[in-house]
Structure 1
Amino acid sequence: MLYTEAGVHGLKQSSIELHDLGSQPTHAARTARREGHLEQHVAHDDLVHMERLGKKQQFDRNFQLTSITSFSVVAMGGWIFVPNNATSALIDGNTGGTIALYLVNFGAFFTIMLSLAEMASMAPTAGGQYHWASEFAPKSLQRSLSYAVGWLSALAWCCGTTSGFYLAGSLIQAVIVELHSSYTAAPWRAYLLVLGLATIGALVNTFLSRKLPKLEGVAFVLTIFGFVTVVIVLWVLSSPNRLTAAEVFQTFTNDGGWSSLGLSMMAGQILLVWALTGADATAHMAEETRHASAVIPKAMLYSYIINGLLVFIMLITYCFCVTDLDAAFSSDTGYPFIEVFASATGSPAGAAGLTCVLIVLIVFSVTNYMASCSRQVFSFARDRGIPCSLWLAKVDEKTNCPINAVAVSYGFCVLISLISLGSAVAFNAIISLQLLALITTYWVTIGSLVWRRGWGKPLPRGDFSLGWAGLPVNIFALVYSAYLIVFVAFPTELPVTLDTVNWAPVMFVGVVALALLYYLAYARHVYEGPVALVDLAS
């Protein structure tokens, strides 16, 4: 069903009539007037897509191509996490293996991004993966698959928000330790820092929500400036001590205890793959972006390429500075990369300065992550997939923000971070669950698209299409996602102990079981999946 000019006129007229009812309009009158205002300021193509998807326009569309691409680049922030995330890869493959496998994954992961971008163009909605699973999966599986993907996607974004704020808080303590060796880095102190940073993120996402598009330009410039600063400082100050090109590109070792170098490299790659994820953050902001069907796919692909190049340059730079991996692991800060920075710059103050740059940019990144997380929670609640759906599916008119969904994202971070006070191993297991859940949503969604292409109805039209290359790209992405799921579940090194075992698969099963119980007890009576509204609007 297409959106018509008569429909626009009707909405405007109803808004005027409701306004004339009195100086104190009812909630229904205010809602209708709000919807009429939104309709007048939304592009026709966006209205057409919202009409097809069976959704009301509840947000102002303030993002455009430049601002939403900046949003995505800042949210991904892959280069910022390279020094910390490269540790396991260096253990399991050294510098040569780390760089080689990163390039392989960068190319392979691009097929996932192409597949997601195409689906985002066909169905530009804040729901993202769970909506696409609902619309493209076989009819008999649409409700169950989309429900599972909705839970996993919300979990992944909530865990990602938590891990980012926790890392920033822990790094603040690490900087203090680097400058003052007598300081004791206690878990409760890290928790208080996490609480403060998460509060800042929540306040920005709530009270500055309308300003986010403008703020993204500033955050993007600071991200690039920070990148240039860190890279130049490391190259200039490390010149007397850094490795040679031959040592960096030709050193392949298996120090993780695996049976072969190839298996070792694949087991250690996962945290670097994590640096490539997050471009789908733009999909969850689709209902706040103008001309979303055309802009969101471009933003996803542009940000992926920009982020990938920054990650590669930072990875090369960092590998040249890793002159003594054993000494790095003995760092009192608990973060090997800070010792690498200290060795490269020649002073603890230099290492602290570079780390502070990373901390500030991590907070920027995770604040954007929280924005996408809240939209995912809001959208799933709008389709009645989670408890307290009516409360979570509200959008505040003044702030243009789903405040209650932001509160849930914030509350999840605050509560889950408490686990770190008792067990760092348990907390790390929850955080590693993020990648497993996120890639599983990619796999299910792309698998649904492959089925629809081969055996289902014709795909809806979007402004971005892979054309004849769609099916081969989707199939490769499907196989590659399955490969990643296998290795996400691997421990980082052998022998496996309680400290090195990967608990993410166990927790993954636990979360799926909880979602299933809620589904059987209540959600199956109210959750139809987004496709029900799509069918109704068609």
Structure 2
Amino acid sequence: MSQDDIQMANRHSKESSMSADMLDLKELSPEDRKLAELGYVQVFRREFSMWSCFSFAVSASGVFATVSTTFSYPLYAGGAASAVWCWLISGFGCMCIALSVSEMVSAYPTSGGMYFTCKYLAPKRWVAEIGWLCGWLNILGQATGVASGGYGAAQLMLAAVSMGSDFTYTPTQGHIVGVMAALFVVDGLINSLPTRLMERLTRGYVVFHIGVLVAAIIALLVKQDHKHSASYVFTNVDVESGWTPAGFSFLFGFLSVSWTMTDYDATAHIAEEIKDPERKCPWAISTALLFTYLGGWVFTIVLVICMGDPAAILSSPVGQPVAQIFYNVLGKGGGLFFTVAAFIVINFGQIVAIQATSRTIFALSRDEMLPLSRVWLKINKYTGTPLNAVWILLFLCTCLNLIALGSFATVSAVFNVCAIALDWSYCIPILCKVLFGKFERGPWHLGKASTWINIYACIWTLFVSIIFILPTFRPVTAENMNYASVILVAIGLFATVYWFSGANKFYHGPKAQTFIEPSVEHHSYTAGQNKTV
């Protein structure tokens, strides 16, 4: 055979190989075709329905439990009026962010959530830098959300134990951290289940959640004989933070709302596990957050009406003001029931938050953004889920909460970091959408109101971010210092050093039109093997 014949044969073999690797979009479902057009191979099983998506989104906020966990913040900040009005004002800003997120998720439904949208919304020359910043903020916000949620769940559980012992037992920081670690193990095992079982488990979250919230509101209003007047509820200002003037201290009450009404894109991170995500994801996010906004405000008003002496509940031996309210109004039995119910609700939230965050780790690893990305993007062949991502997340969150053994103030800062980091990971793509005009809307959109809602969302986030990094008490000491800025700077330095130490050479932003081929034998991603759309 001549040299020309050999070259022709080799060329023919190469072309045949390329043809075999071509992916025919016509053979895919509409959801998988959309994902392919965005640049990724479908590896998850699409098991989530509209109802389970809504339940997932409601559970991510966990309004009954998260209000119970953070009710002390507005009381210290400004008393009854701070709790009521901060919910109304801050909730509106959070709704604008949630609606903006919903609109963009409809256009770009991937496990990367808002981070992935940078690929399409930012100028090409800045995609890598903006994607890097947005991705790190998002994973920081979600991880601190899981960490702080675990700490809050442990507090509620031990509050119930203390109540059951007639307050002869007082939880310590060591006990809280130990229970938190044990809960992480349980939640991790649940998140190790296949997607189909996770979806079935998720369906019941919202039914239980709404039932408990309505029951608590009715029980408190019926059983409390000594209710505060409307004048007290809506106008009383009682500053315990040491800040002056009182109006400035009042603003610290926004933290309770922002920590409750956050993680808007949790549902987006399971977009590759949802049927028809372009419609179901945004509807689930927007309707769930509207429920959280209105339900949380009503619940807060009822708590203020029925709370009795705020100083007494803030000094509660169980360490949870809302648990003490239930005990005072409903007695030991009612107090135990609703405190345990709050624990169950917040643990539901933990389960879905871990699921969403593990998918974020998977998505960032798919773009080679994280150290040891090859490890975290592997999909377990039995469950069809990224188990390595689940367990590294829980390990890191446990390590973060160990700080509580030395400083409760530092752990409290985790609540602040969660709200700041997550909201800015949303607002960076929103700003790109407004400034650069590259957005192509999906089937769910805000119409002519879109730009104004986007702008208000960004302005609101800037405003509350300044508040959340300030010390919440004065005079400032090492014990009450707000260490949120320290945590943000530490993670920022790590991400910057990692970028300039070599990550900028292989990370070029969220990938598009490139498939990382799944290994059929091991059901995991094999980096470096590409398919063509």
Same fold (TM over 0.5): yes
Q: Is the 8 A contact 2:268 2:281 kept in 1?
A: yes
SS in 2 for 1:530: coil
Report which stretch shifted further, 292-301 or 136-145. Answer: 136-145
Aligned residue number for residue 5 of structure 1? none
* Contact 1:282/1:372, CA 8 A, preserved across alignment: yes
Partner of 1:171: 156
The answer to whether the 8 Å contact 1:114/1:301 transfers is yes
Contact 1:267 1:490 in 2 (8 A): no
Query: Within the alignment, does 1:360 sit opposite 2:340 as a pair?
Result: no
Task: Output the amino acid matched with 1:427.
Answer: V
Question: How many residues in Structure 1 have an aligned counterpart in Structure 2?
Answer: 498
Unaligned 5+ segments in structure 2 are 1-16, 516-530
User: Which residue of the partner structure matches residue 308 of structure 2?
Assistant: 323
Q: Which amino acid aligns with 1:232?
A: I
Q: Distance in 2 between matches of 1:466 and 1:176?
A: 47
The aligned residue for residue 7 of structure 2 is none
Is 175-184 or 403-412 further displaced after alignment? Answer: 175-184
- Structure 2 Cα separation of the partners of residues 401 and 358 of structure 1: 28
Residue 432 of structure 1: CA displacement? Answer: 2.8
For residues 203 and 412 of structure 1, the distance between their equivalents in structure 2, rounded to whole angstroms, comes to 16
Kindly report which structure 2 residues correspond to 1:482-501, keeping only aligned pairs within 5 A, or say none: 482-501=462-481
Q: Is 2:366 aligned against 1:394?
A: no
Structure 1 stretches of 4+ moved >6 Å: 534-538
- Greater mean deviation of Cα atoms: 380-389 or 147-156: 147-156
CA shift for structure 1 position 276: 1.2
Cα-to-partner distance string for 1:230-264 (whole Å, 9 max, x where unaligned):
222222221x1221223212323434333333322
The CA deviation string for residues 321-379 of structure 1, in whole angstroms up to 9 with x for no partner, is 1210111122222222232222222x344322221111111111111110001001110
Cα distance in 2 for residues equivalent to 1:525 and 1:269: 41
C-alpha contact 1:267 1:491 (8 A) present in aligned 2: no
Cα distance in 1, alignment partners of residues 343 and 144 from structure 2: 18
User: What residue ranges of structure 1 are gaps of 5+ in the alignment?
Assistant: 1-13, 19-31
Amino acid paired to 2:29: A
* 2:276 matched residue in structure 1: 291
CA distance in 2, matches of 1:208, 1:531: 27
Query: Over residues 1-28 of structure 1, what are the superposed CA-to-partner deviations in whole Å (9 max), with x where a residue is unaligned?
Result: xxxxxxxxxxxxx9xxx9xxxxxxxxxx
Q: CA deviation at 1:164?
A: 1.2
Asked whether the 8 Å contact 1:279–1:303 carries over to 2, the reply is no
Instruction: Provide the secondary structure at the position in 1 that maps to 2:421.
Output: helix
Per the TM alignment, residue 316 of structure 1 is displaced from its structure 2 partner at its CA by 1.3
Within 5 A, what are the aligned runs for 1:164-203? 164-180=149-165, 181-203=167-189
* 1:105–1:426 Cα change, 3 Å: closer
Name the amino acid aligned to 2:385.
C
The answer to whether the 8 A contact 2:91-2:257 is kept is no
- Give, in angstroms, the shift of residue 474 of structure 1: 1.4
Which amino acid in 2 is paired with 1:202?
G
Specify which of 458, 463, 477 is matched with residue 457 of structure 2.
477
Q: Does 1:403 align with 2:387?
A: yes
Structure 2 CA distance for aligned equivalents of residues 187 and 92 of structure 1:
24
CA shift for structure 1 position 63: 1.1
Supply the AA of the counterpart residue of 1:274: W
Aligned match of 1:213: 199
What residue in structure 2 maps to residue 267 of structure 1? 252
- Please, which moves more after superposition, 503-512 or 100-109? 100-109
Distance 2:366 2:139 in 1: 13
Structure 2 residue 60 is matched with structure 1 residue 75? yes
Correspondences of 1:56-455 after superposition (within 5 Å): 56-180=41-165, 181-238=167-224, 240-345=225-330, 347-453=331-437
Asked if structure 2 preserves the Cα contact closer than 8 Å seen for 1:83 and 1:315, the reply is no
Provide the C-alpha distance between the structure 1 equivalents of 2:532 and 2:304, rounded to a whole number of angstroms: 54
Within 1, Cα distance between the matches of 2:158 and 2:83? 28
Q: CA deviation at 1:531?
A: 5.1
Q: 1:260 to 1:533 in 2, by over 3 A?
A: farther
Mapped partners of 1:325, 1:210: distance in 2: 45
Distance (Å, rounded) in 2 between the aligned partners of 1:408 and 1:476: 36
Deviation, 1:291, is 1.1
Mean Cα deviation higher: 365-374 or 249-258: 249-258
Q: Is the 8 A contact 2:50 2:280 kept in 1?
A: yes
The structural deviation recorded for 1:407 is 1.2
State the distance in 2 between where 1:381 and 1:476 align.
32
| Local SS of the residue matching 1:303 | helix
Shift of 1:431: 4.0
Answer with 218-227 or 385-394: which moved more: 218-227
- Indicate how the Cα distance of structure 1 residues 372 and 39 shifts in structure 2: closer, same or farther if over 3 A, else same: farther
Q: Is the 8 A contact 1:276 1:307 kept in 2?
A: yes
Partner of 2:192: helix, strand, or coil? helix
